[in-house]
Amino acid sequence: MKFKKLKNANRREILESRNNAFMIALAFICALVSWYYVKMKYHETDIKNFTDVAVVADISGTTAEENGLQIINTLKNVNVRFECSSKDYSRVTKNRIIAYVDMKNYSRADEYDIKVQLKSLDNIELSNIKIEPEYIKVVLDKNTPKTVALTTFLPNIIPAEGKALGECICDPVQVDISGPSSIVNKIDRVEVESDVHKILDSKEIIYADNFNFYTEDGTKINTSNITVTPKSIAITIPVYAEKNIPITANFKTQDTNFDQSSLDYTFTPDNITLASDTGESIPDALEVQIPLTDLIDDNGIVYEKDYQIKTQLINQSKLETVHFKLNNTNLGVREMTLSKNNIHQMQVPQDNYDYTNMTEKITVKLVGPIDVINNITASDINANINLTNAESEKLKVFPIDVEVSCSVNFRNVFAIPVNKANISKTLKSESSTQATNKNNTN
């Protein structure tokens, strides 16, 4: 009996022990689950990524602001990666974090590479922060204004056939710019550019708002930190009539018998492009005035010489001079003396003065083929003194040009007088004057 009771008691103890162990195990499991829940809820972290996060740089209240500096460049955006607790995961959004650079230790104008930092606007703890790029450029400088001349660049505006584009007129002709002093101080010219494609037959106005910046030596400045005012420019594009024409010589001489075609010559260059902006017609050739006296000097025949281009039209070729070359190889020079009897007066004024040639002889130079000029005599030369404007002469004796020409038998020869004739201007006698008046009355 006692043994049976003892056996039952042991069984109860074993059962109780088992129940206690189960309860302990269950409590441990519950505790473990609770710990895991708390750990997951309050201590586990998750990773977050944001791209193109704007970077803030604030210099208010810093020495840089006191020195009149500004941040004058556009700060580059960054990509960020960080960890936060699981409970804060949904609260951490892109607009509730801020990427920034600390500007308190920068006080002078310069370019700086500054490390980017990250924080939560809700004071949420962020860990294992990685920012790319880690450093960004910040430019501190003073904002400087300047007024600069304006030019144009219109690569796709072309004239119609037979037309030319004139110099573009900008409205306004200059612009106001502002930006970093280190850049603005280098800018000498602002170019307004348009990519409009047009073929123009007449004047047109276009508008452009793309600007390029150049130094005094023509180097382009690549920058986006310059503000231009006004932001749009009106460009007037004149269109002119245009023609490419040959350059020819007009040999100036009073000898109507001389055949200018007997002179063989070339010009270099031999053509020019002219344009008209007034409606003035463009000639078929540009004539260069060459006095025949230019073709001879004390040393003989002048075979080459430069001449200025003179025209009222627009010189599209930008030629300032043209080179003349005489190609005749058989020319010679011969001096000849004409006596007073071979020199005749013409266009004598009908006034109260007598005009008398005081020069006994003049010397002329004959220029032409050698075999021709050697056969010319004084009788083949006409020498005249034209007194058309002599009545206005105040001197009693004055020099005057002698007009010399060869006869029609020598059209390939021209004559140049070496000296002038002296003319005496004397008041007519009273009797001669009365006789002249009587004859005029009759």
- pLDDT tens, 262-293? 999 999 999 999 998 877 889 999 999 999 99
Residue 15's pLDDT is 60
By DSSP bridging, strand 361-369 and strand 414-417 are: antiparallel
Q: Which two tokens stand for residue 134?
A: 């880690």
What is d(CA 129, CA 337) in angstroms, rounded to the nearest whole number?
110
Tell whether 246 and 219 lie within a shared domain: no
pLDDT of residue 12: 64
Residue 22 lies in a domain: no
What CATH number is attached to the domain comprising 92? 2.170.120.30
Closest-CA residue to 223 (of 262, 281, 184)? 184
Query: Whole-model pTM?
Result: 0.54
Q: Rounded to whole angstroms, what are the CA distances from 80 to 44, 134, 149, 385?
A: 20, 10, 45, 102
> Does residue 260 fall inside a structural domain?
yes
**Same domain, yes or no: 134 and 159:** no
Verify that 352 and 408 share a domain, yes or no.
yes
The residue among 178, 208, 237 that closes a domain is: 237
- Element of type H or E holding 239: strand 239-252
CATH number at residue 188: 2.170.120.40
CA–CA distance, 234 with 86 (Å, rounded to integer): 60
317-327 pLDDT, tens digit each: 999 999 999 99
Choosing from 141, 156, 190, the residue where a domain stops is: 141
**Are residues 322 and 270 located together in one domain of the fold?**
yes
Q: How many domains does the chain have?
A: 4
Q: Which domain holds residue 270?
A: 242-329
- What per-residue confidence (pLDDT) applies to 120? 94
pLDDT digits (tens, 9 = 90+) for 357-384: 988 889 999 999 999 999 998 889 888 8
Q: Answer yes or no: do 218 and 270 share one domain.
A: no
Q: Is 310 helix (H, G, I), strand (E, B) or coil?
A: coil
In this structure, how many other beta carbons lie within 10 angstroms of the beta carbon of residue 117?
Answer: 13
Locate tokens 């000639």: which residue? 283
Alpha helices by DSSP H, 118-263: 181-184
Mean pLDDT by 10 residues, the chain (442 residues): 53 64 70 56 78 93 88 90 92 93 91 94 93 94 90 94 89 92 91 94 92 94 88 93 94 88 96 87 94 91 95 91 94 90 88 89 92 90 88 87 88 91 83 50 47
The radius of gyration of the chain's CA atoms, rounded to the nearest angstrom, is 51
Question: Residue 61: inside a domain, yes or no?
Answer: yes
Does any domain span residue 63? yes
Q: Within 13 Å of residue 345, how many CA atoms lie on the same side as its CB?
A: 18
Q: Are 314 and 274 in contact (CB under 8 A)?
A: yes
